[in-house]
Amino acid sequence: MSAPRSTSVQLLGDLREVVGPAHVLTGEDLLASYTTDWTGRFAGTAVAVLRPADTAEVAGVLEVAARHGAAVIPQGGNTGLVGGSVPRPGLAGGRPQLVLSTRRLSQLFELDPSSHLLSAGAGTTLAQAAEAAQTAGLHPGIDLAARESATLGGMVATNAGGLHVVRHGPMRARLAGVEAVLADGTVAARLSGLTKDSVGWDLGALLAGSEGTLAVVTRVTVRLEATPVHRVAALVAVDEVSSAVDLVTGPLRRLASLEAAELTLAPGMSLVCESAGLAAPPAAGSARAWLTLEAAADHDPTDELARALADRRVLEAAVAADAAGRARLWAYRERHTEAISRLGIPHKLDVSVRPGRLPALVARLPDAVAKTAPGARLVVFGHVAEGNLHVNVLGPPPEDDAVDDAVLRLVAELGGSISAEHGVGVAKAPWLRLARSGAELEVMRRVKAALDPGRLLNPGVLEPV
């Protein structure tokens, strides 16, 4: 059911007064890229996509939406995997939905090299932030494969992790300040960037991971790190997942220079090599798992990485210190997502367990998937130091969530989290009770009711069903 035409006409007219006619997008062709998520699994219908230019226009959009009873779906780069940044079908009463794109909020407000801080609009992409930081010999301390499209605001909303969590932590740890617009149009900001500031609640910590359900983030201040002089990457073959975990939690974890530790398995390696035309990885005939490692420091970390890898569990390794060589080694890991997507619409389940339980999760996943989706294709890879596994299942129809249920219940049985990155969205809302106690969920409900009593922002996300 869609909104009555008279209501939509008035709503659109009021929105055009706020952001200008050119930035109220309507029509199926213009809306298509905003209303379907990156996986293709989640999609909905929006009355319009709005592209405000500044914080005042964001506040104006929320005021209009509240007046007309419309729901607002905040959206950054739309690189999410759980349907949290696109409209959803079946909102109660046929409530109209508006996508609020932050892409025009891409101003660079401040780069402070002495404090290692960068302040930029929420629509600034990670790549743009990194490029700006690099002019001062700094970097954001966080990196994602979707760096060209993932936005700072979206990364705050989902508490993004990525490749460098082992050294620098997730987005919540990188966040030094935030500005956001609440559902009633109030602009709340704390952008001081102070390292020590113990005055009450931390606005950024509250909004990090809230997935646009409490406020629309409009500006972000991130902590930067000094750019290391030297980098070295390695692609390391091992016989088992347990060997990879033992290396990362043992000799490699003691390396201060370790910046990334990624896990890939034989099914994914075969798929990537076939899809991208890559040469066979080290020990292709005998290895069952590979680590993609990167170490970075102001001294050359090659020798210390080599010493850490002088271990009986290492079958073979390829090492590169030049940029082109590192890129070739990283391709085996970073081409996974592209290769998987070529096979169809996957069920993507981003989960985590304690690193010591990662081998058990990997070992039990094939049986759990096979029981609920016979004949499905399973491809897993992830961030081994954090016990974070990207589970991809190809075969089941997008609307069939039986395999999701099986995987998430297995993760919960192992004491893990149903969402390590990307958030809960609408995809994992039915399983929130596996990850949070009744008391925790009640706290979430009370905070939501206090900040957004009309359920204006992202309804259905982070709500147990």
How many C-beta atoms surround the C-beta of residue 436 within 10 A? 18
pLDDT at residue 89 in the model: 87
Q: What is d(CA 423, CA 155) in angstroms, rounded to the nearest whole number?
A: 10
Helices (H), ranges, 150-237: 152-157, 165-168, 171-174, 203-207
pLDDT at position 7 is 62
Instruction: Say what the pLDDT of residue 92 is.
Output: 66
Ramachandran angles phi, psi of 268, nearest 5°: -70, -40
How far is residue 384's CA from residue 166's CA, in Å, rounded to a whole number?
A: 9
pLDDT digits 0-9 by tens, 48-77: 999 999 999 999 999 999 999 999 999 999
| Residue 8: per-residue pLDDT | 83
Closest CA to 133 of 150, 119, 121, 152: 119
Residue 27 has a CB neighbour count (10 Å cut-off) of 9
Q: Which residue has the tokens 């952008």?
A: 191
Q: What is the pLDDT of residue 94?
A: 81
Nearest to 215 by CA among 463, 458, 37: 458
The whole-number pLDDT of residue 81 equals 85
Q: Which residues of the chain have pLDDT under 70?
A: 1-7, 92, 465
- Measured over the CA atoms of residue 147, residue 84, residue 394 and residue 350, the dihedral's sign is positive
pTM of this prediction? 0.92
Contacts of 103-108 with CB under 8 Å at 24 or more apart are 103/51, 103/76, 103/77, 103/151, 104/23, 104/51, 104/52, 104/53, 105/52, 105/53, 105/54, 105/55, 105/58, 105/153, 105/218, 105/219, 108/132
Helices (H), 287-357: 302-308, 323-334, 336-341
Regarding beta strands 71-75 and 97-101, do their DSSP bridges make them parallel or antiparallel, or are they unpaired? parallel
Strand residue runs (E) in 201-257: 215-223, 225-226, 230-238
Q: What's the pLDDT score for residue 409?
A: 98
Neighbours of 98 (CB within 10 A): 25
Which domains are assigned to the chain? 5-104 (3.30.43.10), 108-226 (3.30.465.10), 230-326 (3.30.70.2190), 343-422 (3.30.70.2740)
